[in-house]
Chain A
Amino acid sequence: DQQVKQNSPSLSVQEGRISILNCDYTNSMFDYFLWYKKYPAEGPTFLISISSIKDKNEDGRFTVFLNKSAKHLSLHIVPSQPGDSAVYFCAAGGTSYGKLTFGQGTILTVHP
């Protein structure tokens, strides 16, 4: 039972354009959502998070949007840069649920 799903295994974007990565979840107990970025041969690193009391959180070029009614979150990267090429994982957790549950990951490739 995959509670956090990233349905796009990969995404290819031109440098300077917007990258949109999507994530869906099924467990209503999740109230905290995170995005992690992972380069090859390294561990995942935290990128940005959002609490369920918000619908948007920005940090520089990265913005996370949360649609609670649709149980959907997305990560927008604007403008995309070649150094953003990595695997992106969404994760969900929360006060009631505790430990983080991860999605399958989306491989983002940003072409110069």
Chain B
Amino acid sequence: NAGVTQTPKFQVLKTGQSMTLQCAQDMNHNSMYWYRQDPGMGLRLIYYSASEGTTDKGEVPNGYNVSRLNKREFSLRLESAAPSQTSVYFCASSGYLDGNTEAFFGQGTRLTVV
């Protein structure tokens, strides 16, 4: 039972490079999220998708784009990476976007932008 799977686990980018973080869940969840974790800042929501075909901005969306490819997959794209995007990125999913259900997290992607 895989749950939420993120790839890659580690990545080093040069400033200006682009990349896509992949996320897939096998729990038939409707809602999916991308968070970033920075020291002293907790988990901050970048983008979320309440259901297949919809996406919305979270707290810190600048510099990112997302695609909800289908119900299972939700990708996060950095078009032109900046050092400020060095962080640990977590994908999560939950049954519904009603906040009354727990979210399940992937293992994270540690991204370094040099």
**Is A94 engaged at the interface, CB distance under 8 Å to the other chain?**
yes
Chain A interface size, as a band, is: 20 to 34
**Is A100 engaged at the interface, CB distance under 8 Å to the other chain?**
yes
Please give 15 more A-B residue pairs, beta carbons under 8 A apart, in addition to A34-B102, A44-B90: A31-B99, A42-B108, A43-B90, A45-B105, A93-B98, A94-B98, A94-B99, A95-B98, A95-B99, A97-B99, A98-B99, A100-B33, A100-B45, A102-B35, A102-B42
Docked pose: A6 CA to B8 CA in angstroms: 30
Q: Which residue of A lies closest to B96 (CB)?
A: A98
Q: Given A32-B99, A43-B90, do A102 and B104 touch, yes or no (CB 8 Å)? A: no
User: Within 8 Å CB of A9, what residues of B?
Assistant: 40
Q: When the two chains form their complex, are residues B42 and A94 in contact, meaning their CB atoms are under 8 A apart?
A: no
**Is A70 engaged at the interface, CB distance under 8 Å to the other chain?**
no
CB contact list, B62-92 vs A, under 8 A: 90, 92
User: Within 8 Å CB of A43, what residues of B?
Assistant: 4, 90, 92, 105-108
Docked pose: A94 CA to B97 CA in angstroms: 9
Q: When the two chains form their complex, are residues A99 and B100 in contact, meaning their CB atoms are under 8 A apart?
A: no
User: Within 8 Å CB of B107, what residues of A?
Assistant: 41-43
Q: Given A44-B90, A46-B104, do A100 and B99 touch, yes or no (CB 8 Å)? A: yes
Q: Give the residue of B42, B50, B92, B105 whose beta carbon is less than 8 angstroms from that of A103.
A: B42
**Is A104 engaged at the interface, CB distance under 8 Å to the other chain?**
yes
Docked pose: A94 CA to B45 CA in angstroms: 16
**Is A25 engaged at the interface, CB distance under 8 Å to the other chain?**
no
Q: When the two chains form their complex, are residues B100 and A94 in contact, meaning their CB atoms are under 8 A apart?
A: yes
Q: When the two chains form their complex, are residues B42 and A32 in contact, meaning their CB atoms are under 8 A apart?
A: no
Q: Give the residue of A41, A93, A95 whose beta carbon is less than 8 angstroms from that of B108.
A: A41
Q: Give the residue of A30, A100, A101, A104 whose beta carbon is less than 8 angstroms from that of B40.
A: A104
